[in-house]
Structure 1
Amino acid sequence: MKIFDVQNIRKADLFTIENEPVSSISLMERAAHNCAEWIFEKCKNHTKFTIFCGNGNNGGDGFAIARMLYMKGFDVDVFINKENEKFSDDTFINFKRVKEIPGISVFDFSEIKSYHFNEKTIIIDALFGTGLSGKIEGAYQKIIEDLNEIKVSKISIDIPSGMFADRLNGKSDTIFKADFTLTFQFWKKAFLHPETGRFAGKVSVLDINLNKEFTDKTQTNYFTIDDEIILKIFKPRNEFSHKGNHGKAVIVGGSYGKIGAVVLATKSALKTGSGLTFSVAPSCGYIILQTSLPEAMFIEGGEKSISNIEKVENTVFGIGPGLGTENLTENALIQFLKNQNEPVVLDADALNIVSKNSDYLNLIPENSIITPHPKEFERLFGRTENSFERLDLAKLKAEELQIYIVLKDHHTQVITPEGNIFYNITGNSGLAKGGSGDILTGMITSLLAQKYSSEEAVILGVWLHGKAADFAAEKYSKEAMQPTDVINEIGNVFLQLNKKATTEL
């Protein structure tokens, strides 16, 4: 799915109004209807809604939602700033419609202190939409601060009030803290970064049928990884294929006390479907690897740490899990990179070794994939103040080095050499455990070995990783799930994916 900035979202609205054609008030009704239907389906255990409306079109959505929820039998009250009732044209129409309904009371913001909220109440934020250009102050700042203190469920319409859609807010900015955000047609960039996304809660993207011609022809460098993208990438396995058709994956890693990392990476590579899978590890890990992974072949790379990595033709290498950074290992990795022309996957200690010398970065073959977490990224490329700056720096480095960068985060970002950004929206906080990155390395290496392009392998890999984690969380909980549980769910994701791919045909 494309991610549009505020300017293009406005253009999409106008293009739809002009070319469908549909009036702006009818488009507002369409958006409000979809919100009301979502709320009706998800919030049946609640009986009362208090809707806080601003003067712009976001407030107009709120007034329309109030009317629709009232017609469905809910108790609805509306709050406005009565000191400033200068509404936009469409918003004023919906405000008048609400005032004509005797069962909906309209309160001033100042009356919140005497208003009774109970456990069956849901607060709906329709104060400010994506058009916000500056810091919220005055009565609106005060009402948002008051609402954030109230302990009931909260829903934002389109975007939490006070949040900028495309950029980072200031540290002192006041932002509504939602449990759920019902956004229209597109993800907003701010939802996908930890500094701002935490205000949005769980995001649901509601299709309001904006003009598809505009969406298709309008260019952007930002995308979310959704089923449509994955189904274009995924290649169901040919029934007449053999192991030679599915590539050779080599996982290089492990050191004394860290053999588990290479076990996890190798196991995930096997589960992801590589035809032949090898582990290059020190001899101290031989028994562990051969016992736990009889399907993989063992290649000795040293005694207690890796001291030698042999180049093998027509083979994809994933290097780093549990590797260690001692001098022998550093020399082995750098010598390997000097002789390697084909793309490799580098993670963990392989990245820590490369970060020791800026010249090492230039040894990474073009179209390779690196998968740093924030601290590893900092060691490689320098400190940034926030995830927005980190992404901008990653774009520069991906283009400069002609590599793919996977910025691991709650919504992991894939950055291509061409400057395209793909945000992953599968996965959960259960992945915040040691070993989760190792299994991602194995998955991407396996897909690259199976002749997926670097871009395809990394997009499918991060999606698969997150989807398997979602399955594991459903079964075991985010707290209890382990990386091995994620590996064991890879097969279930492929079952679902094959079913969808067959259905699409």
Structure 2
Amino acid sequence: MLEIPHDPILSLSQAHAFEQEYFNGDEALQWDAMTRAGEAVADSALRDMRELRTIPHRPKLMVLVGKGHNGADALIAARRFLRTIPTARAAIWPWTAMEECRPMTQRAFKELIDFATKRLEVLPIANEMNVEGLGEILSSQAKGRGVDLLIDGLLGMQARPTLKSPLGEWIKLLNDSESISVRVSIDLPTGITESSAQETEPFRADFTYCTGIVKLPVIKNFNQQWVGRLRYLDLGFFAQFRPNHFSGNEKILRPSALTQLRKLRPVVSDKRDYGHLLAIVGSRELGGAALMCARGALRAGLGLLTCCVPESLHASFVAACPEAMWVPMPETPKGGLALEGLGKVRQFLDRADALVAGPGIGSEGETHTLVREACKLFSGPLLLDADGLRSEIIDSLADQDHLVLTPHAGELDRLAGRGGVENFLSSFQGVILRKGAHQQVIYDGAILHLFSGSSLLARGGSGDILSGIVGSLLARGGRSSIDCVALGTFWHGRAAEALARQHGQEAVTTTQILEYLSFALRNDF
């Protein structure tokens, strides 16, 4: 059962109905929500910009302003950005005359002008220009270092699949420009909808900030190339008010859920109170996976860790990670875990609170048989990852309720076989962590989306660390498997965000994620 804080993901019609009911014509409440949304967008953008580079001394911001409330959010974000960095400058590029905008957009514009007139440049109205004119304006803004951050506040829920001229051409110019460092959208990139029938190119965001409500189009596969990295900026709408006019199985984890792991330990406690994890991991060729899995588990607060590894790796692993108990196992001629080691594994099954199997074990059939037989003998929470994700292992388990699978797209296709991925997901009785650009926890016909992480994670070994983290939470107990998978994965993603903001996405190694687990847990961001 899912018990950690989460909110529904709404269709566009549901979101519109929710906002009508929530605000109920209260303009003061609406302005307060807009202010919190815009400021949250600016704060998040200032963090996410650091994944590309250190923010320059005099950053340049460009804001695309539509006539609706997305435009107001973007203008409020600009004011926050300029207040945070007194040396920053901003160019405001409106789609239409400000007099034609909604009252709150006009108010946001006035407050921005009053706050930072000398640091603002208001560009000509885009809707009154031809493509050549739009290109000339963009070229003039690109001089020097170019635009450090572009905020898309043009269209929101009322967008249509086709962007009329010159809006479509304007968006394409912005997408193609190499002088814009980071592009962000508020709620929805301009031009995307719930339909895949898009005749014109939507705005291509590097980050999309879902303020208050996550709307269904951003999680559609056909929109993934446009939304970029998704962030959920929770404004507390659903904590205060539960509408009765939406339904669906798509949910979003609240970022605040991670604080459930942030607690002082009781004074009277010992290592046995924090779980004992047994890991069947590694082979002679893939020993690093075993080591990363072990380190991930230990960094996640585990009390005791026992790792069964090929005997040829034992001495070096004891030296590299003395906190774990390394069990030397018989190995095959090719360096995998041999079936004759099953007796050794059985000695630890009754002592363990959870079992992780798969990272680095390789593709030998004998090793898979060992894992299968060990899993059949274990009745607690069980996580299968990497080469442990085999149909012959999963199908042999009579009780799948405590089973957790962590496949990426290729592994999921292999497991699903001819029956297809959707049939496999709907029929599986346990919990599946569907890895990808945006992780999904799938259980009981529902999908919990996790908006944390960085493209920094597209490296070998990140999944092995994740298996260790989730395995640690499973062993510590006190939570459902669903909650453990969601919290562990979100934590892992937040650590990657912190690492990327400190060192960028390129010049890092996978194991550096471990050094940022503490920061991700101890800080709100």
| Counterpart position of 2:289 | 261
- Mapped pair 1:349 → 2:387: yes
Q: Which residue of 2 aligns with 1:245?
A: 273
Structure-2 separation of matches of 1:273 and 1:361: 31
Q: Distance in 2 between matches of 1:213 and 1:466?
A: 27
Decide whether the 8 Å contact of 1:33 with 1:68 is kept in 2.
no
2:77 counterpart of 1:38:
yes
d(CA) in 1 for partners of 2:235, 2:291: 47
Tell me how far apart the structure 1 counterparts of residues 31 and 512 of structure 2 sit (CA, whole Å).
50
| Secondary structure in 1 matching 2:140 | coil
Cα deviation 1:342-361 (Å, max 9, x = unaligned): 2200000001xx14x59727
Task: Report which structure shows greater RCO (CA 8 Å, sep ≥6).
Answer: 2
Does 1:374 find its partner at 2:374?
A: no
Q: Compute the RMSD of aligned alpha carbons.
A: 3.7
Cα offset, 1:334, TM superposition: 2.2
Deviation at 1:485, TM superposition (A): 1.5
Q: How does 1:104-183 map to 2 (within 5 A)?
A: 107=129, 111-113=133-135, 115=137, 117-119=140-142, 125-136=152-163, 138-153=165-180, 156-164=185-193, 166=194, 169-170=196-197, 173-179=200-206, 181=208, 183=210
Determine if the alignment matches structure 1 residue 75 to structure 2 residue 117. Answer: no
Could you tell me which residue of structure 1 aligns to residue 58 of structure 2? none
1:477 to 501, 504, 512: 504
Give secondary structure in 1 for the equivalent of 2:490: helix
1: CA distance, partners of 2:179 / 2:150: 7
Identity of aligned residues (%): 24
1:196-246 deviations in Å (ceiling 9; x for gaps): 344345666667786865447665533333342223465542221111212
Distance 1:80 1:433, change over 3 A: closer
Give me the TM-score of the superposition, normalised by structure 1: 0.78
Amino acid at match of 1:118: Q
List gaps (5 residues or longer) in structure 1: 83-106, 501-505
The CA distance in 1 between the partners of 2:498 and 2:238, in whole Å, is 34
Deviation larger for 258-267 or 363-372: 363-372
Distance 1:382 1:124, change over 3 A: same
Question: Which residue of the partner structure matches residue 400 of structure 1?
Answer: 427
1:318-357 correspondence runs (5 A) = 318-351=356-389, 354-355=390-391, 357=392
Does the 8 Å contact 1:53/1:127 carry over to 2? no
Q: Is the 8 A contact 2:466 2:492 kept in 1?
A: yes
- CA deviation after TM superposition for structure 1 residue 31, in Å: 6.4
Q: Against the structure 1 CA distance between its residues 446 and 47, is the aligned structure 2 distance closer, same or farther, given a 3 Å change threshold?
A: closer
Q: 1: distance between equivalents of 2:503 and 2:33?
A: 42
Change over 3 Å in CA distance of 1:8–1:402 after alignment to 2? same
Q: Deviations over 1:94-119 (max 9, x none)?
A: xxxxxxxxxxxxx5777425546313
Q: Offset of 1:277 from its aligned partner?
A: 0.6
Deviations 1:276-334 (A, max 9, x none): 11011111111122111222112233222112443412521100111012121122122
Shift of 1:67: 4.7
* 1:439 counterpart (465, 469, 476): 465
1:184 aligns with 2:211: yes
1:360 lines up with 2:395 in the alignment: yes
Q: Report SS of the residue matched to 1:341.
A: coil
Q: 2: distance between equivalents of 1:191 and 1:147?
A: 20
Q: 1:170 to 1:358 in 2, by over 3 A?
A: farther
1:448 aligns with 2:479: no
1:102 is aligned to none
Q: Quick check: 134-143 or 256-265, which moved more?
A: 134-143
Distance in structure 2 (CA, Å) of the matches to 1:359 and 1:405: 12
Amino acid in the other structure paired with 2:438: H
| Alignment match, 1:231 | 259
Given that 1:12 and 1:214 are in contact with CA atoms closer than 8 Å, whether structure 2 keeps it comes out as: no
Q: Which amino acid aligns with 1:77?
A: L
Change over 3 Å in CA distance of 1:283–1:159 after alignment to 2: same
Distance 2:27 2:502 in 1: 47
Counterpart position of 1:52? 95
Secondary structure at 2:95 match in 1? strand
Matched residue SS, 1:406: strand
- Counterpart residue number, 1:90: none
Which deviates more from structure 2 when the two are superposed, residues 243-252 or residues 192-201? Answer: 192-201
Indicate how the Cα distance of structure 1 residues 172 and 258 shifts in structure 2: closer, same or farther if over 3 A, else same: farther
Answer yes or no: is the 8 Å Cα contact 2:155–2:189 preserved in 1. Answer: yes
Structure 2: gaps (5+ residues): 1-5, 35-67
Following the alignment from structure 1 to structure 2, what is the Cα–Cα distance between the partners of residues 448 and 487? 18
Deviation string 1:253-283 (CA, Å, 9 cap, x unpaired) is: 1112211111111122122122211011111
1:408-427 to 2 correspondence within 5 Å?
A: 408-416=435-443, 418-427=444-453
Shift in Å, 1:172? 5.6
Aligned length: 459
Displacement of 1:9: 0.9
Q: 1:170 to 1:274 in 2, by over 3 A?
A: same
Question: Which of the residues 12, 16, 22 maps onto 1:10?
Answer: 16
Q: Which of 316, 325, 335 in structure 2 is aligned with 1:288? A: 316
What is the CA–CA distance in structure 1 between the aligned matches of 2:19 and 2:132, rounded to whole Å? 34
Residues 485, 70 of structure 1: CA spacing in aligned structure 2 closer, same or farther, 3 A cutoff? same
Asked whether the 8 Å contact 2:495–2:513 carries over to 1, the reply is yes
- Compute the displacement of 1:440 (Å): 0.7
Q: Deviations over 1:19-43 (max 9, x none)?
A: 7476989988976554323112325
CA change 1:49–1:361 in 2 (3 A) is farther
Offset, 1:446: 1.0
The answer as to whether partners of 1:35 and 1:206 remain within 8 angstroms in 2 is no
- Asked if 1:305 corresponds to 2:336, the answer is yes
Secondary structure in structure 2 of the residue aligned to 1:49: strand
